[in-house]
Structure formats: C-alpha cells, structure tokens
Chains A and B, each alone.
Chain A
C-alpha cells in the first residue's frame, strides 16, 4: 500500500508569482484535503476534493484553487503569492468524505517560502 506523497519537498518563490503543489493520495482513497500550516501553528483547512469536485472550503481567498484528477491525485494552485503564504502545505487523503471515522492520512508536506 502506497502512502500519501507530495511534491516538491521545498519551494522558494517571490511575491506575485504562482505556484502549483502536487499530491498523490493513498491507494483506495478518493478524497483529498489540503491544509496550510504556518510556523508554530496548527494546520488550517483550505479545501477538500471528492471525485474531482470541490467538497468544502475553508476561509481562504479565491487565489487558492485546486484540482483533483481521475486517479484521485490533486493539485493546489496559489496565484499572486504573498509573504504570508509562506508555510508548510499538507495534503491528506481519506477513503470518503464524512466517513464515520474520518481518519485522514497525511503526506510529508511541501515547505513553501515566499520572498
């Protein structure tokens, strides 16, 4: 069984640029959630994708967008990067949204630095 993988591991961008982060879900999981974790804070929910459609969104502006592909892998896109976007971005997969346990399996994260 393959776990959740994310790429790249680290990324440095400058203000105003755009970035795409990638996530491959665990085998058998059709739901992917994205979280942003600022230094010293807990993860904050960005959005969730289920069967290629957005299935809920946290308090993030529209310049944060995503995609899910037929193989359930996912992308997080952030446009017009700001300094405050510097964070660890975590992807988590689960068997289905709102399942009884809703245990989510996290990838190792992508560390984004915006200069």
Chain B
C-alpha cells in the first residue's frame, strides 16, 4: 500500500501558468520529498522539506507542509514544456525506506 496520495491524478495546463498538486499521507514523518519522473524513467529529486518546516522554495518550486493535516503541496510557477512529467511525493518516517504516492501527471501545453 502507498503512504502518500497525490491529487489530482492528472493536470493539463498552458505554458506560463502555475501548476499545483497536493499530497496527503497517513503516518508521522521525518521529512517529505518531491520527485519528478520523465516518461517512465528514473526519478529526479526536486526538493525536501523537514517535518519542522512549513514552506520551502527552490527556483520555480514552492513546497508547503502541514503536519497537522498530514498534507503537502507542490507549486510550479511559470510552467514550461519541459515540466511535463509525473510528480511524486515521498515520505520518510525515520526508517530506511521512502514511501511514494501514485503520482500526478502534469502536461504543459505550448
């Protein structure tokens, strides 16, 4: 079973628009990470937010974390065609494994 659940499952936006996706999880975590995957290939780490942090920025990415609601959001601003990919949240519950959600598929239209 998956720890995290992303919402929506799929998202289609115009180039230049912002894309927002959400992740909910079930158990207490040490940190939460977001990864990107292009066309069923390897995952690329985007950003990590620790359980004692509420917001983090990296370039055009903004991540929020609400541990009371067990949820996180990833915002991609000024989207580009190259942002077309699947995005996964992964939780780290102080053990040795990452637990991934099923992902959000983002399509950026030119």
Contact = CB atoms under 8 A, between A and B. Distances in A.
Given A90-B42, A108-B41, A108-B42, A101 B48 contact: yes
Contacts of A106: 35, 42-45
B88 A42 contact: yes
Interface in A78-95: 88, 90, 92
Nearest to A91: B42
A105 B97 CA distance: 13
B18 to A, nearest CB: 23
Nearest to A59: B1
A92 B37 CA distance: 14
Interface in A4-63: 4, 33, 35, 39-45, 48, 50, 55-56, 58
B98 interface: yes
Q: 3 smallest A-B Cβ distances: which pairs?
A: A42-B100, A56-B96, A45-B97
Contacts of A97: 96
Interface residues on A, range: 20 to 34
A102 interface: yes
Contact of A102 (B40, B88, B98, B102): B98
A90 B43 contact: yes
Contact of A107 (B42, B95, B97): B42
A70 interface: no
Given A90-B42, A103-B48, A40 B96 contact: no
B98 A45 contact: yes
A103 B50 CA distance: 12
Contacts of B99: 45
A4 to B, nearest CB: 8
A40 to B, nearest CB: 7
Contacts of B60: none
